[in-house]
A and B are shown apart, each in its own frame.
Chain A
């Protein structure tokens, strides 16, 4: 290992280290082994405290509500960046582009000809019976032909440093604001470290997003009016909605600011009168988007939005009904989906997944429950997951019963070893497990933000990177 001093003891056996695993890269050597390693422990602590104070002052916070009281919490920020070298990034970028191309083909197909179902590549009931499959979308052509305009792909790295895809988030992925704010914090806290560093910028995300959304404007609209639709002030991701509206330079609206007229045109109410709206980047779930088409009791949405989209007068990003592709069982078929539509091998592999709806795989899972991680397919946010090696006998018996009763509801994966990245902890710089969520925007073509959200499990040995369970984040440096 090339790093010394500060970075001693920063690797774990059989685990890829994001820094020392690529120590032969000259830019990693220059920035980490030579520059960053010269900082003192107390200097790093001081800069970390200042960075977190700045996050608090800037309100880069989650808002938690306890009755009338509000509490703002900052996502813990680690000041040691996670680097990705140029050649690794090239693989990742191509893999994400491929994945999103396949996802958009898949979504179009399942709402039109259903060739992939008829050819038996993906089970029909898995798709049509999915809770996120929307019958209303059958035969609807979203402007520009794009379903998942904004996509966040969760990835991990295995022991030899290969990326694996853990999850596709193609409904309303969040977290991109942290990618950009983390960079601002680094530039402010470490101007000396950042000087002449060949780190690719992330600051043009808003411009790129707006450009891709404009690509998907309804036909005949050359300079579309784009808005960001938020559920409102009390949403925990409200900061991100504000951030994205500001970065794109578009109005931030709530449902009550919009209406759809009898010609299916969407308008925004302004003090100067109504203005037409052509593209909506919505941060509201499908069910609440339009009480006329989906849940009637929705107070957040706008009656008629879906009608406007069907009439070809509105693009909704992401399109309704993309949640099918987020499903954990559909995920297991993604390599087949890529081969089917693109006639290519997947450029980034999935994590090995056993689909319990296949009898032989179910049998294997039931035999190896104590080694596997079992996940219900329709849940997100870590709910209902049973980690075999850490489960009690009673928990294993319960999950066995549940899998036998409803095999189609479960998948299983091996215990995954996440890579580590050197992280500033109370015991000095130490290895901590990380994942990565790169963000991609799609209009005419796909653009992958050179960076991504690196979440880090701040607790020693933990592989849970979720913010609700002590996870933090760090700046992701894509080197050039």
Chain B
């Protein structure tokens, strides 16, 4: 659900800022966010607003599409239906029903914003059901940790692609000498639902470095990587304190490394250094998630 919501956000922003269906560069940016360029190339289609939007919205062959994410969420929810609130199951079921019934012809660029809005609202309604209705048991803690990890990962990808784009040399080898225009980082913040909070916290002059730092390290921004990582670590602590389900050494080490990585700095310089750093964060997130799975859900 977290992934579907993020995708919907990203597609809506991309659609808003692209100069139309044939603005291939803008839509390639979306593919780059998820390193999906090669997978898309396999479809044999040219990069256009419509082809990319459909591939991410309804294509079940694309494991990273909204349709695939919702179908996977529904299958997981089905397995957990006896412990999740009835409303959340119903909501996932309805949203999946809505998206899975969409035909290609129903997904057009003029309608994309509305469709993304429907998915975003659908996911947020689900989140509301979780917050308001899920008994705070160990299953809830795991659910939250999953969301935290997914959210942290998505935010790093979002930052990475934006900075990759602006720091990339052009065909002639020259690096942009002017800072990216305001729309670039506004769009970045908006896709993370953080534009207004950033505006409240920062001076008008704040630029890309501040925007990236905000999404990475802000302690109060709900989609920041640091907040998500610290939340996951705190829930792991709760699992031990309330249920006696202590992490093993591997998991403890992975958690500590991740927290350290996110708390030992407060600034980033856009450029290769940032890309390396984001890469590290993603690798550590994957390590954390796999050790979490191994410790609690692996074979004895």
Contact = CB atoms under 8 A, between A and B. Distances in A.
Interface of A: 56-59, 233, 238, 242-243, 245-246, 251-252, 269, 271-273
A238 B82 CA distance: 11
Given A57-B90, A57-B93, A59-B89, A242 B239 contact: no
A59 B93 contact: yes
Contact of B296 (A56, A58, A252, A271): A271
A245 B82 contact: yes
Given A59-B90, A272-B245, A252 B239 contact: no
A271 B81 contact: no
B75 interface: yes
5 contacts: A57-B90, A57-B93, A57-B94, A238-B78, A242-B81
Interface in B236-286: 239, 243-245
Contacts, number: 42
A238 B75 CA distance: 12
Given A271-B138, A272-B138, A246 B82 contact: yes
Interface size class of B (residues with CB under 8 A): 20 to 34
Contacts of B83: 246
A251 B82 CA distance: 8
B128 interface: no
B154 to A, nearest CB: 26
A58 B97 contact: no
A273 B81 CA distance: 22
Contact of B243 (A59, A243, A246, A271): A271
Interface of B: 75, 78-79, 81-83, 86, 89-90, 93-94, 97, 138, 142, 239, 243-245, 296-297, 300
Nearest to B141: A271
Contacts of A233: 75, 78-79
Nearest to B142: A271
Contacts of A56: 97
Contacts of A272: 138, 243-245
A242 B83 CA distance: 9
Given A57-B93, A57-B94, A271-B245, 18 more contacts: A56-B97, A58-B86, A58-B90, A58-B93, A59-B78, A233-B75, A233-B78, A238-B78, A242-B81, A243-B82, A245-B82, A271-B138, A271-B239, A271-B243, A271-B296, A272-B138, A272-B244, A273-B244
- Residue with the highest number of chain B CB atoms closer than 10 Å, among A59, A233, A273: A59
Contacts of B79: 233
Nearest to B89: A59
A332 B98 CA distance: 51
Nearest to A246: B82
Nearest to B86: A58
A430 to B, nearest CB: 31
Contacts of A245: 82
B196 to A, nearest CB: 34
Contacts of A252: 82
A469 B52 CA distance: 43
Nearest to A245: B82
A238 B97 CA distance: 19
Nearest to B74: A59
B251 to A, nearest CB: 12
A389 to B, nearest CB: 44
- Residue with the highest number of chain A CB atoms closer than 10 Å, among B78, B82, B89, B245: B82
Contacts of B243: 271-272
Contacts of B89: 58-59
A273 B90 CA distance: 31
B81 A246 contact: yes
A207 to B, nearest CB: 16
Contacts of B82: 242-243, 245-246, 251-252
Contacts of A271: 138, 142, 239, 243, 245, 296-297
Contacts of A243: 82
A252 B139 CA distance: 13
B161 to A, nearest CB: 31
